[in-house]
Amino acid sequence: MALDRRGFLGMGAAALAAAALPRFAVAATSLRDTRFLLVLLRGGMDGLHALQPIGDPAFAALRGAFANAPGEPALRRLDGDFALHGHLSGMADLYGRGQLLPVVAVAPPYRQRSHFEAQDCVENGTRGGGGAQGWLNRCVAAMPGASGLAVAAVMPLAMRGGGRVSTWSPPLPDGVDPILWQRLQALYAEDPQLAPTFAQIDAGMEGTPDPMGARGAGPRLAQSMAAAARFLSAADGPRIGFVEDTGWDTHNNQRGVLGRKLSELDAGLRAFREGAQPIWNNVVVAIVTEFGRTAAINGTAGTDHGTGGVAFLAGGAVQGGRIAGDWPGLGRTQLNDGRDLRATTDMRGLFKGVLRDHLHLPEDALARVFPDSGDVAPMAGLVRRA
Which residues are CB-contacts of 337 (< 8 A; sequence separation ≥ 6)? none
What per-residue confidence (pLDDT) applies to 235?
87
How large a percentage of the chain has pLDDT more than 90? 72
The yes-or-no verdict on residue 204 having pLDDT over 60 is no
* Confidence band, pLDDT 50/70/90 cuts, at residue 179: low
Write the pLDDT tens digit of every residue in 19-60: 344 444 444 344 468 999 999 999 999 999 999 999 999 999
Q: Return the number of other C-beta atoms located less than 10 Å from residue 225's C-beta.
A: 28
* Confidence band, pLDDT 50/70/90 cuts, at residue 7: very low
Q: How many residues does the chain have?
A: 386
* Nearest C-alpha neighbor of 67 from the set 232, 231, 255, 221: 255
Q: What angle do CA 267, 270, 272 make, to 5 degrees?
A: 110
130, 124 Cβ separation under 8 angstroms: yes
How large a percentage of the chain has pLDDT more than 70? 78
Write the pLDDT tens digit of every residue in 249-284: 999 999 999 999 999 999 999 999 999 999 999 999
100, 91 Cβ separation under 8 angstroms: yes
Residue type, 68: N
Query: Mean pLDDT across the chain, nearest whole number?
Result: 86
Q: Which of the residue ranges 97-101, 112-116, 277-281, 363-367 would you say has the lowest mean pLDDT?
A: 112-116
What per-residue confidence (pLDDT) applies to 133?
95
* Nearest C-alpha neighbor of 309 from the set 46, 43, 39: 46
* 245-262 residues labelled b (16+ CB within 10 A) or e (exposed): bbbbbbbbbbbbbbbbbb
Write the pLDDT tens digit of every residue in 285-344: 999 999 999 999 999 999 999 999 999 999 999 999 999 999 999 999 999 999 999 999
* Nearest C-alpha neighbor of 135 from the set 34, 221, 43, 242: 242
What domains appear along the chain, each with residue ranges and CATH number? 28-369 (3.40.720)
Q: DSSP state, 214?
A: T
